[in-house]
């Protein structure tokens, strides 16, 4: 049996600690700790409680000691765009905002006064989303400029947590690209862009790639968890890690990294920056080994997660899939990317309101709501595939669905039907697997990315879904 590697994978709704190791050439995973996550509403603001999250990171690390399974290294990944500002004593400045907070409303207009939207896309290749870090920082500049004046360091959240563990600061490249402040040519921060926007460029650290050593644990952390290890950078944007785990060793394919968000795209050796891409809202996020993830951000399972919470989590996701299938003839559809679904006070009411506004039948039961969400998502995937193939001038035969959403069999089937493609679903823990792959490659247990992907294909169950018309023949 190989050595243990620890992936701390924190999503917007939950976090998990996964131990990975190789056995007879296959990767094995063991979930050792899980915790809830979510933004806290404080005085009308949506914030992350970083102290609580860091305490959970430590709790999961202690679990390794209890189990007698000590990892040789660890890495942390989270969702994108959110960050901290630190003062000269490395203390937090201001609140740690969540990306669904409304402080970024209209900040795209403020940014647009300083740089044209078209030029911004040309410079960064990143799609416009109102919560991108570039707009979050504009909100700071407009509302609390004194924080930017006092800031000494800017760190994305995984980088901040790894700084708390080691005392060393490092900025990871894949996650940094989600800020819309990185050059896809230089693979570093675009300092001219920062100057133009009036952001202090000296607070941004040089970008480093997955596989880089951040440091060893601080002495007090070693005492608390009971061991020491290497803290490594993985693709710390969770989608970068998930896409690493796409179980296709050769050839090209479309992927959907399916979780709270659905990220649909392809891997490209260089950024695809075209006007058509910009208008269709495709983005070029940084990937492992400087590969680009040319993808579109789609609302994802956030809508069904929210409805489930509104029904007091009384139904499992599997039960919601079944109820959606029972109500498959319910005719209404919503645009899942409409801003009204980003952070409504009540998702059920938002869906009902949308159907009312568009003169459609209004869903009343949880099964009808689930049917509307899943069918609307699949329709959105169908349109996104057409756009993608149009932009890159190429047709693809299959889609790999990775991440937690790959377990939603009904949605996988709908996606096969809507896109006309064969769907390969799994692995469900793609993000943690990608996180561990970066560590194993660094430690030379896996040779390189193609080799590691082959290992993933051979190690985990992959389910196949074909379009129903095809299946009937």
pLDDT at 471: 59
pLDDT at 472: 57
Task: Go through the chain and tell me how many residues it has.
Answer: 473
Structure token digits, residue 341: 């679904």
Neighbours of 438 (CB within 10 A): 32
Structure token digits, residue 307: 């409805």
- Round to the nearest angstrom and report the end-to-end CA distance of the chain: 45
Q: Which residues are catalytic?
A: 238
Please check whether residue 232 is in contact with residue 214, taking contact to mean a CB–CB distance below 8 angstroms: yes
The helix (run of H) or strand (run of E) holding residue 53 is: helix 50-67
Neighbours of 343 (CB within 10 A): 18
Structure token digits, residue 128: 């416009």
pTM of the model: 0.92
pLDDT at 13: 86
pLDDT at 250: 63
Q: Would you give the DSSP letter of residue 330?
A: -
Nearest CA among 249, 223, 192, 202 for reference residue 86? 202
Beta strand pairing call for 254-258 and 40-42 = unpaired
Whether a cis peptide bond, with omega within 30° of 0, leads into 344 is no
pLDDT at 260: 87
Q: Can you tell me the distance from the alpha carbon of 20 to that of 252, in angstroms, rounded to the nearest whole number?
A: 27
Q: Can you tell me the distance from the alpha carbon of 399 to that of 266, in angstroms, rounded to the nearest whole number?
A: 10
**Cα angle: 24, vertex 26, 30; to 5 degrees:** 110
Structure token digits, residue 116: 């044209």
Q: Which residues pair with 42 in a beta bridge?
A: 45
Which residues make Cβ contacts (< 8 Å) with residue 108, sequence separation at least 6?
Answer: 117, 128, 130, 135
Each residue's pLDDT tens digit in the chain (473 positions)?
789 999 999 998 899 999 999 999 999 999 999 999 999 999 999 999 999 999 999 999 999 999 999 999 999 999 999 999 999 999 999 999 999 999 999 999 999 999 999 999 999 999 999 999 999 999 999 999 999 999 999 999 999 999 999 999 999 999 999 999 999 999 999 999 999 999 999 999 999 999 999 999 999 999 999 999 999 999 999 999 999 999 986 667 999 999 888 999 999 999 999 999 999 999 999 999 999 999 998 989 999 999 999 999 999 999 999 999 999 999 999 999 999 998 899 999 999 999 999 999 999 999 999 999 999 999 999 999 999 999 999 999 999 999 999 999 999 999 999 999 999 999 999 999 999 999 999 999 999 999 999 999 999 999 999 999 765 55
Please check whether residue 21 is in contact with residue 28, taking contact to mean a CB–CB distance below 8 angstroms: yes
Structure token digits, residue 110: 């403020």
Which residues make Cβ contacts (< 8 Å) with residue 294, sequence separation at least 6?
Answer: 265, 266, 267, 268, 271, 272, 277, 282, 283, 284, 388, 392
């Amino acid at each position: 049996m190989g050595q243990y590697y620890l992936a701390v994978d924190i999503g917007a709704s939950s976090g998990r600690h996964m131990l990975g190791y190789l056995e007879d050439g296959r990767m094995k995973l063991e979930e050792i700790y899980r915790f809830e996550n979510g933004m806290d509403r404080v005085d009308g603001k949506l914030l992350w409680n970083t102290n609580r999250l860091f305490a959970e990171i430590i709790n999961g690390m202690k679990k390794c000691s209890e189990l007698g399974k000590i990892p040789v290294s660890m890495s942390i990944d989270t969702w994108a765009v959110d960050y901290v500002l630190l003062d000269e004593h490395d203390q937090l400045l201001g609140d740690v905002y969540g990306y669904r907070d409304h402080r970024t409303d209209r900040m795209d207009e403020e940014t647009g006064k300083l740089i044209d939207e078209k030029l911004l896309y040309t410079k960064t290749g990143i799609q416009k989303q109102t919560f991108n870090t570039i707009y979050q920082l504009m909100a700071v500049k407009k509302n609390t400029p004194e924080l930017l004046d006092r800031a000494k360091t800017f760190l994305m959240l995984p980088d901040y947590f790894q700084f708390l563990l080691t005392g060393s600061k490092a900025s990871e490249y894949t996650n940094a690209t989600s800020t819309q402040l990185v050059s896809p040519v230089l693979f570093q921060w675009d300092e001219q862009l920062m100057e133009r926007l009036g952001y202090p460029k000296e607070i941004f650290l040089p970008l480093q790639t997955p596989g880089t050593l951040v440091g060893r644990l601080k002495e007090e952390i070693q005492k608390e968890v009971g061991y020491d290890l290497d803290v490594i950078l993985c693709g710390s944007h969770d989608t970068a890690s998930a896409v690493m785990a796409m179980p296709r060793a050769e050839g090209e394919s479309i992927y959907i990294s399916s979780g709270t968000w659905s990220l649909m795209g392809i891997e490209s050796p260089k950024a695809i920056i075209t006007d058509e891409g910009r208008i269709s809202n495709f983005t070029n996020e940084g990937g492992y080994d400087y590969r680009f993830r040319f993808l579109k951000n789609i609302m994802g399972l956030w809508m069904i997660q929210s409805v489930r919470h509104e029904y007091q989590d009384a139904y499992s996701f599997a039960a919601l899939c079944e109820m959606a299938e029972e109500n498959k003839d319910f005719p209404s559809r919503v645009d899942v990317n409409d801003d009204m679904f980003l952070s409504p006070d009540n998702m059920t009411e938002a869906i009902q309101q949308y159907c009312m506004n568009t003169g459609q039948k209004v869903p009343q039961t949880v099964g009808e709501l689930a049917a509307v969400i899943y069918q609307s998502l699949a329709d959105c995937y169908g349109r996104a595939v057409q756009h993608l193939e149009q932009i890159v001038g190429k047709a693809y035969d299959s889609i790999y669905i990775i991440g937690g959403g790959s377990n939603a069999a009904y949605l996988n089937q709908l996606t096969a039907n809507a896109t006309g493609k064969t769907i390969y679903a799994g692995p469900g823990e793609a993000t943690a697997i990608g996180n561990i792959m970066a560590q194993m490659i660094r430690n030379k247990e896996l040779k390189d990315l193609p080799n590691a992907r082959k290992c993933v294909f051979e190690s985990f169950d992959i389910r196949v879904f074909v379009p129903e018309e095809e299946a009937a023949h």
